[in-house]
Amino acid sequence: MAITITVAQTVSNDVFSRIVALAQVLRQSDPNFEGLTISVSRGADTLVTDTDDKLRETLLHLLVEDELAAGSEPSLHTRHFPCNDPPGMSGRP
């Protein structure tokens, strides 16, 4: 099962980093993505490809689009990702 997220070169590094973090968290916490390989790279356009599950592809595409729409502000999906927090604390205020 191969899932690929391609992020346009014009997307900021901050947003690209949040999309990479989104992929990692989904693999660790969402049963739809657990144990799957999700590769994230740069390309001409932003697109999501899941060769095995079009519904999962659509879900991931919506999550990526949410990050793109959020711009410099984290979306609701990544705002609470653990980010070098002290033990016992997770997410951002």
User: pTM of the entire structure?
Assistant: 0.77
CA of residue 67 relative to chain centroid, distance: 8
Question: What gap in Å lies between CA 32 and CA 34, rounded to an integer?
Answer: 6
For 47-78, write each residue's pLDDT tens digit: 999 999 999 999 999 999 999 998 766 655 55
User: Within 13 A of 69's CA, how many CA atoms are on the CB side?
Assistant: 9
For 10-32, write each residue's pLDDT tens digit: 999 999 999 999 999 999 999 99
Torsion of CA 25, 45, 11, 31, to 10 degrees: -10
Tokens of 72: 């410099």
